[in-house]
Structure 1
Amino acid sequence: MGSTIAVVGGTGQAGRAVVREAVARGHAVRVVSRRRPGDLEPSPAGVAHHAADLLADDEAQVADALAAAFDGAHAVVDTSNGMTPGARATQFHEFLDLFFGRDSRLGAWSRLGLLPYPRRCRFQTIDLRDVARALVDAAEGVDPLGVVPVPGPSDALTATVGGPQVLAARDTARAWRRSHDSHRLPVGVVLPGALGEFFRAGRNLVPDAAVGTITYDQWLAEQ
């Protein structure tokens, strides 16, 4: 028998995936967001909306809205910051479009016929559906398969789940190029700052927690 799960940020990209997964498992869902799901798409049966702007100046109003949304809920999944106690994830497959997409900050490279990728970096991207499965597992009190416990907020144990493959950035660029039938030439660029150092050190990888099932190539084929 399903329970009641509150999903903070339930109208966002990850939130919608969690809502679909929870509803498919028979749970009642309370979506907590600034906008009603109906503003974006029809709400499925079993989904109620609670309006709450987490960035509002009136903290008392926010607290009251959250208290109403969480009252009687068996679990809360927070997709607004990726730090739900129980599970969090590596980068989504969509993340790589920040480098490859024409509308990205590096989009100017496309006009030169180049496909930039971050040098000496590897990624273990994961599909949103796999993330949703892990988050709903955690909400149900089920340990996501193969996870690596790491310290989380409020002294909780948070499992970081990753995609099924660890790929060099160069290989993801080549996969994107094949999928888009592009003639742009892959070229490595140095990603500066702390973010570049983070990726080059491999701190974005959790090879022992490869719970994802949908590969980057499979995701590309669906686009």
Structure 2
Amino acid sequence: MTTILVTGGTGTLGRLVTERLRADGHEVRVLSRHTQPYAVDLREGGPGLDAALDGVETVVHCASSPRGDEQAADHLIAAARRAGVGHLVYISIVGVDRVPFGYYRSKLAVERRIEESGLRWTVLRATQFHDLVVTMLQKLAKPPVVLVPAGVSDQPVEVAEVADRLAELALAAPAGRVPDMGGPHVRTFDSLARAYLRATGRRRRVLGMPLFGKTYRAFRAGGHLAPEQAVGKGTFEEYLARRFGQ
């Protein structure tokens, strides 16, 4: 039985990774800011992090936030070295090296820290989860007209499938950068918006709105997509049906 620490283990992805590893008979410690006995803010570090890592063989790093990811990674890596952790698994995002978006740049910086850490590691990049796309569309659909970024597509993936893959990687030997994981279909953003409106019974006009700048151009060029790695099975419509009961 392996002792595994899952950072962000109460989040959308981390919770599912934890469930899968425990179901497979492993001892799993959940680290988050508010969950005892391993309540640690990775951005601050501290002795609680060393206690959480004591005796841990593998870390699955799912914790993430719009600010502080690089500092959190520094604290985690340093503590993992002290604890003699044998394998650090990190979930990243497809396109972090191609799209000049602030959050993506931070994720790429974390990848590089892990690669240079001296630890044995595995990094998986995935496309956006279905629930994140819905969160965006919920905000966009508040006005009478839904304005979506013109010419932009997405490739949403089922979070449970990413959790399965991460759990599999955590139990395998360190593999470095593994193939990206994308959802089953590349979809225009306006088609995703229309699917969301149908599932929620809303009537809205959907319009494409041109944007400007390097980030928008990179998204339009598909820098965040992995059509050659469309390995996911669950579709956006299937997710909507489960969530909204249509």
TM-score under structure 2 normalisation? 0.69
1:162 has 2:182 as partner: yes
Q: 1:6 to 1:217 in 2, by over 3 A?
A: same
Report runs of 4+ in structure 1 exceeding 3 Å deviation: 81-84, 191-195
Pairs within 5 Å for 1:48-127: 49-56=37-44, 59=45, 61=46, 64-81=47-64, 82-83=91-92, 85-101=122-138, 104=139, 106=140, 110-111=142-143, 113-127=144-158
Which runs of no fewer than 5 residues in structure 2 stay unpaired? Answer: 65-90, 93-110, 112-121
Q: 1:50 to 1:159 in 2, by over 3 A?
A: farther
Q: Determine the structure 2 residue equivalent to 1:43.
A: none
Displacement of 1:188 in angstroms is 1.0
Pairs within 5 Å for 1:32-47: 32-36=31-35
Q: 1:192 to 1:70 in 2, by over 3 A?
A: farther
Q: 1:185 to 1:209 in 2, by over 3 A?
A: same
Residues 3-47 of structure 1 show CA distances to partners (whole Å, capped at 9, x for unaligned) of 22210111122211211222222222111111117xxxxxxxxxx
| Whole-Å separation in 2 of the counterparts to 1:165 and 1:140 | 28
Say if 1:99 and 1:116, in contact at 8 Å, map to a contact too: no
Q: Determine the structure 1 residue equivalent to 2:205.
A: 185
| Whole-Å separation in 2 of the counterparts to 1:86 and 1:73 | 19
| Whole-Å separation in 2 of the counterparts to 1:79 and 1:191 | 31
1:140 has 2:140 as partner: no
Q: 2:235 aligns with which of 201, 206, 215?
A: 215
Q: Determine the structure 2 residue equivalent to 1:146.
A: none
- The count of residues paired between Structure 1 and Structure 2 equals 189
Superposition RMSD on alpha carbons, in Å?
A: 2.3
Letter in 2 for 1:201: A
Displacement of 1:136 in angstroms is 0.7
| Whole-Å separation in 2 of the counterparts to 1:134 and 1:191 | 35
Displacement of 1:142 in angstroms is 7.0
Displacement of 1:87 in angstroms is 1.6
Displacement of 1:88 in angstroms is 2.7
